[in-house]
Amino acid sequence: MPSFVTRLAPASIVEELGAIIADFDPDGMRVMIRALAESDLREALPHIVVPTLLIWGDQDVRSPLTVARDLQARIPGSKLAVIHETGHLSHVEAPERFNAEVRGFLRSV
């Protein structure tokens, strides 16, 4: 779980995520991970014409903040919201802050 959440995540969240991941079908997961790893959609990003919110955990080790900043630079008019002290699953570690970012963004568009 260390690559999904920070060390600050409650044990109950870590246990729940572990149980969810244990239920993944290994063959299906392998196909999905390979597709994600081999996909390069960067050329499509400048053509996104809808309001776009990127929400990132500042402690995300699976997809560091540099990735978020690159996406923001490539997606015209996109907004980046950084949730401090969270990892890859910021919506799990900080649901209130995550929801506040989404609500604020939706009100703004």
The answer to whether residue 65 is domain-embedded is: yes
In a domain, 6, yes or no: no
CATH number at residue 74: 3.40.50.1820
45 lies in some domain: yes
- In DSSP terms, which residues pair with 79 in a beta bridge? 53
pTM of the model: 0.85
Domain for residue 80, yes or no? yes
Residues of the domain holding 26: 11-108
Q: Cβ(85)–Cβ(5) under 8 Å?
A: no
Domain count, the chain: 1
Are the beta carbons of 70 and 44 closer than 8 angstroms? no
21 within some domain = yes
Most distant pair of Cα atoms in the chain: their distance: 41
Residue 95 tokens read as 């649901």
pLDDT in tens, the chain (109 residues): 668 999 989 999 999 999 998 899 999 999 998 998 899 999 999 999 999 999 999 999 999 999 999 999 999 999 999 999 999 999 999 999 999 999 999 999 9
